[in-house]
Structure 1
Amino acid sequence: MDTVGKLFLETAKKYPDKEVLLYKHEGKFHAIRFREFLQKVECFAAGLEALGFRRGDRLAIFSENLPQWMICDIATIGAGGIDVPLYTSLTPSHLEYIINDSGSKIIVVSNEQLLKKILSIRSKLKTIEKIIILESNSERTPEEALTFREVVETGRERLESGSESYEKRVSTVKPSDMATIMYTSGTTGVPKGVMLSHRNITAEIYALGKSIEVEKDDLLISFLPLSHVLERMVEYFVIFNGCGVGYSENIEALAKNLAKLKPTLLVSVPRVYEKIYSMISDGVERESEFKKKLFHWALKSGRAYRENRGTERNRISYIKNLIAEKIVLSKIKERLGGRLRMLISGGAPLYKEVGEFFSDLGLVIQEGYGLTETTCAVTLNRRDDVRYGTVGQPLLGIEIAIGDRNEILVRGAVIMQGYYKDGEGTRKVIDDEGWLHTGDVGFLDSDNFLTITDRLKDLIKTSGGKYVAPQQIENAFRKNRFISQAVVIGDRMKFITAILVPDFGVLERYAEDEKIEFSSKPELINNSKIISLYQSITDGINKELATFEKVRRFSLVADDFRIESEELTPTLKVKRGIILEKYRDVIEKMYD
């Protein structure tokens, strides 16, 4: 089996003149070809060696998504080092814990703002010897800090003087060697360091290759943090197949960069697809009756074409879909760059309604499932065999089983080496037969499609002894265009309640249309007409729920959940414990 370094070298030599990494500078996108990519990897690896960085040492990467992120990563792990990705949203206390726990020797920071964050805790970082800054606008950097350019130049001089080549060092790395320690962001507790080997990573890349078909002109737009296993593994997969990656500065710039880069591949958590769905739906609702009917006819035509493929009715459906594509659907897709053909979703459940909506547009979302502990995806819906509401079938070489309390178990070459410096924690999740106990609840259908229902730890047990899966109820709320976030409550309580965060963009436009006067968000959500609106939404959802699952009361709150206030993980998952503590008084009132 290969290593990450070997896969990179093979691809770089095969496509030396191919544009691979696209980045924005002064408002314009520029490209790095594989030849330059390889040269920078070789030089950076040699530069690290000059700094005393040796095989098995740890290097932390504290940066947004940039070409240099991938250069530092492949240079480090390809030559036998171990890297530790850090989310840029991490608090100083979390940074301190992860850097010290991992024993990182060198830290790479992207800019002066993040450098200041590191310098604020510098005295507490016991093992850091050097800081490397990727982009610096200042002549004044700390004595221990070097620029990326300086390290690359030192490496170039070292290689020219006969230092051992990157390729030679790559050849000594074994598939069983640890490549990275990825700390789980976690919705509760202290971050855990997940140890992934080269074997884990290459097994994942090969498995993805059997379910995702890419072409050499494909381009991935990168905006999910590279510190997240989904983004990182998909970027490896794309790059090692000779395709390109375009870096969007952040999620806020996604819309304009979709238009500029015109990518063919989009990988995202469901929340982004939900936002696009809501944006389009809300826009349609504000159009004339004629345009509304035209839009819904076009969607219906797309659905009929999808459902009638391979049948006698296919020709009629095909013609209708061609017309719908020409006058309606193509204009919507143009806003997404016009070239998208592959969309992948992971990290949380995708609403069936959202998946079907995109499919009707002619954009199939392939939803999958996986964990950091499984090196990313273990199941995926194939493009030609999608079942929305499921996370697809097991990838090549991966076994899925359902254990006690319907817990999902996974086994295969993608299972992590273990938790760093935590043998007891590792033994709790990986049993003697090699099964990883995921903590997720779900079931397999007769065709081996997996459906996720909830997290074991999130299941609510009411005071009446009934188990309630909050995620499904929350998803039902969040499908509504008036709702941004929802948290269902009721553990050890007599009935279920919910905290709802409105989508204020949609709600404020509704208030204007309804002539509801307000001067602030708190005033708006306390308006009797607005409360009635959300009560009607809740009533509609309750009709589909069992008696013990029904949401008896709800509270609207004015502040959206944010990563910065630690209510969300960097991958936009709700931290229930934080929410329950922050809104303790609100929750108590619902149970008075």
Structure 2
Amino acid sequence: MAATIDTSFLQDLAPSLGVMLRRRVAKTPDREAYRFLRGADWVSVTWSEAAAEVAEVAAGLLALRLRREDRVAIVANTRYEWILADLAVMCAGGATTTVYPTTAAEDAAYILADAGCRFAIVEDADQLAKIMSHRGDLPALETIIAMDAAPGALSLDDVRRRGRELLAADPEAVNRATDAIGQGDLATLIYTSGTTGRPKGVRLTQLCWVYEGEALKALGFLRTDDVNFLWLPMSHSFGKVILSAQLAVGYATAIDGRVDKIIDNLAVIKPTFMGAAPRIFEKAYGKIVSTQEAEGGLKEKIFRTAFAVGAEYERRKAAGERIGAGLALRHRLFDRLVFAKVRERFGGRVRFFISGSAPLNREIAEWFHSAGILIIEGYGLTETTAGAFCGRPIDNKFGTVGRALPGSDVRIAPDGEIQLRGPHIMSGYNNLETETADAFTPDGWLRTGDQGTLDADGFLTITGRLKDLIKTSGGKIVVPGAVEAAFKALCPYVSQFLVFGDERPYCVALVTLDPDAIAAWCAENGVAAAGYSAQVSSPEVQQLVAGYIDQLNGRLNPWETVKRWTILDADLSIESGELTPSMKVKRGLVEQGQRERIGAMYAG
């Protein structure tokens, strides 16, 4: 039986994130708060130093006549200044409106207009140009502030200078603004990346974020001496909820939003934990496995044997079974020869990873655990302020997303839908009363749209997305996510694998391969094709993928098997609009864009 979590924290929730920051500084003023790059060097600031910088920006915003709940757009990559700006908006009483830096100019303008933003904080001249290209559509926008030099915008340094002047004349200006904020005040507008139509602005209150941070702290596995590596896009709720937990717990966060630098940064920062989307773990798994396969011979045999021993060792340990001297000896040997090298790829100090934003394949999670790297899963929506469920290292169950956060409620509807209630639930969609009403049941529970099951201990297993379930023309139900995840665990070269077949006689799949992995495979196997499109069209790569699909089909029920498949001539990407910035596939958009290819797999 899983341990009960103390919910007494609910009696002393701070009224706002600004007060949470104030409490954190009072508890650990001299501990490291943030670490970030300045040029080529990593520098750090303590909690008291970070709070002083936040106060300057907050005071600067007040000097520019920011009012309570005024919307302030932040259009920038993940960096220290993003966090500085966000906390300053919170302390001054405003409401951050997040915009991904990859968002097209027209969509960014729609978000700013729908939110009614009076202020926009942009990263640089490129993001400024994006906003200015639709300036005429933004009548509420009064002030644009730039983090980096951008002619035509007020600089963030100038805002801080104005803030220092205000604080010199009125030292309590920011404290008064913070004290005026209540738990029900709007804190953040996050616009969801819809697959069709315009994105919806999710209204999240101060209470949502305060509760999330304290609830994650109450789970007991986060420590003040942890070091978190943050690369997640801060425009997404997953990244912001880790910062809410940081205010509650007090750990240090190292920040660099460049996805291509994740592995390099891990080696330097040596974090104790990191949040990531499943794609990051899938890619790391594929890289490690394919590298060993390419080496072949004795090294590959040792590698495979090591993971078989690691899996058996962890299985017995989890089951409380006796671990004999022979198994323990072999595990220590392989830990030194193999597993320690795998852990070193991630800095060598990781206590756990947190996977969120999409389901993680259980086999991949168990594979990492065999090497001494624990990946716990969380589950939630933007509408639940990211976190609604979270596993814990001390009672983790692979294949589940843990239990509901303490102080919240879950129920499973007759059709299997997961429905939620608690302090983390959004107040509604911005300017969309009908959509808000539709998001809730008549008795006030949030409809997630996801299907799941709860075990006797309250652990949730996600079984699929209601709207994505496939019902073949023969009446059989297929959960495409389960089939897709199984393939990703089998094939180390895959990037995306999408299964279709609703109201069709059988299932088909669209496949994309990881460009770097398949290029390396082609070079090692004498395939002379140049470029991704030519490589995936080659007979050798087609045969390679066919072999993995045969393995997949051998594990599936007959009605789930993939009868036909096509490798696309380009990988899905955020830039193409087929992936959200949090790396989730826009399935409907891909299906619409590839309808001819999908139809061809049913022809004849």
**Pairwise same-fold verdict (TM > 0.5):** yes
Q: Structure 1 residue 509 and structure 2 residue 517: aligned? A: no
Looking at structure 1, the residues matched to 123 and 453 of structure 2 have their Cα atoms a distance apart, in angstroms, of: 43
Which residue is equivalent to 2:368? Answer: 358
Residue aligning to 1:491: 502
Change over 3 Å in CA distance of 1:164–1:441 after alignment to 2: same
The answer to whether the 8 Å contact 2:182/2:206 transfers is yes
Task: Compare 48-57 and 456-465 and name the one that shifted more.
Answer: 456-465
Q: Which amino acid aligns with 2:341?
A: K
Taking the aligned partners of 1:202 and 1:353, their CA distance within structure 2 comes to 34
Task: Give 2:336's aligned residue.
Answer: 326
TM, length-normalised to structure 2: 0.93
Residue 154 of structure 1 is matched in structure 2 by 162
Maintained 8 Å contact 2:62/2:92: no
Is the 2:294–2:524 contact (alpha carbons within 8 Å) kept by the matching residues of 1? no
Query: In structure 1, which of residues 433, 442, 449 is the aligned counterpart of residue 443 of structure 2?
Result: 433
Partner of 2:8: none
Residue 268 (structure 1) shift: 0.3
Provide structure 1 residue ranges, at least 5 long, that are not aligned to the other structure. Answer: none
Deviations 1:9-35 (A, max 9, x none): 011122222221111122111112212
Describe the SS at the equivalent of 2:263. helix
Aligned pairs (5 A) from 1:465-484: 465-479=475-489, 480-484=491-495
Q: Is the 8 A contact 1:470 1:488 kept in 2?
A: yes
Does 2:591 correspond to 1:557?
Answer: no
Could you tell me whether the CA contact under 8 Å between 1:192 and 1:419 is conserved in 2?
yes
The structure 2 residue matched to 1:37, chosen from 44, 50, 72, is: 50
* Contact map agreement 1:409 1:435 (CA 8 A) in 2: yes
Q: Distance in 2 between matches of 1:328 and 1:530?
A: 29
Render the CA deviation track for 1:473-530: whole Å, top value 9, x for unaligned. Answer: 2222222113211122222323221111123333333334443332343333333343
2:586 to 575, 586, 592: 575
Contact 1:187 1:569 in 2 (8 A): no
Stretch moving more, 365-374 or 380-389: 380-389
How many residues get paired?
587
- Residues 315 and 4 (structure 1 numbering): CA distance in 2 closer, same or farther, change over 3 Å? farther
Pick from 93, 99, 105 the counterpart of residue 86 of structure 1: 99
**3-state SS of 1:20 partner:** strand
Amino acid at match of 2:90: I
Offset from partner CA, 1:436-462 (integer Å, 9 cap, x none)? 110001211233221112111112233
1:137-286 equivalences in 2 (<5 Å) = 141-142=151-152, 145-162=153-170, 164-286=172-294
| Offset at residue 176 of structure 1 (A) | 1.5
Q: Which digits, 9 at most, give the CA deviation of each residue in 1:86-145, with x for residues without a partner?
A: 111111121011100000100001112212222222222221101000111x6xx11xx2
Identity value in percent:
35
Asked if 2 retains the 8 angstrom alpha-carbon contact of 1:308 and 1:317, the reply is no
Q: Contact between 1:239 and 1:245, CA under 8 Å: does it hold in 2?
A: no
Deviates most, 292-301 or 370-379 = 292-301
2:123 equivalent in structure 1:
110
Unaligned 5+ segments in structure 2 are: 1-12
Is 1:483–1:502's contact at 8 Å kept on the other side of the alignment? yes
User: Which has the higher mean CA deviation after the structures are superposed, 418-427 or 184-193?
Assistant: 184-193
Which of 18, 23, 27 does residue 10 from structure 1 map onto? 23
What is the aligned counterpart of 1:537 among 533, 545, 548?
548
Paired residues of 1:219 and 1:244 also in contact (CA < 8 A): yes
Task: Name the counterpart of 1:65.
Answer: 78
What's the counterpart of residue 302 of structure 1? 310
Q: Deviations for 1:387-411, whole angstroms, at most 9, x for unmatched residues?
A: 2211122221122211132111111
Aligned-residue offset at 1:320? 4.0
CA-based RMSD: 1.9
| CA contact 2:59–2:163 (8 Å) conserved in 1 | yes
Q: CA deviation at 1:335?
A: 1.9
Change (3 A) 1:299 1:467: closer
Counterparts in 2 of 1:545 and 1:296: CA distance versus 1, 3 Å: closer
- Say whether the 8 Å CA contact 1:15–1:34 is kept in structure 2: yes
Is 2:382 aligned against 1:369?
no
- CA displacement 1:324-376 (0-9 Å, x = unmatched): 33332222212211111121011100011110011111111111111111111
2:34 is the alignment partner of 1:21:
yes
- 1:358 and 1:64 map into 2 onto residues whose CA distance is 29
Q: Which amino acid aligns with 2:157?
A: R
Deviation track 1:405-443 (CA, whole Å, cap 9, x = no partner) reads 211111111111111111211111112322111000121
For 2:558 and 2:310, locate their aligned partners in 1 and report how far apart those are by CA, in whole Å.
Answer: 37
- What is the rounded CA distance, in whole Å, between the counterparts of 2:45 and 2:428 in structure 1? 36
CA gap 1:316/1:384 in 2 versus in 1, 3 angstroms: farther
Distance 1:279 1:530, change over 3 A: closer
Q: Give 1:463's aligned residue.
A: 473
Structure 1 residues 74-83 or 537-546, which shifts more? Answer: 537-546
- In structure 2, the partner of 1:413 is 423
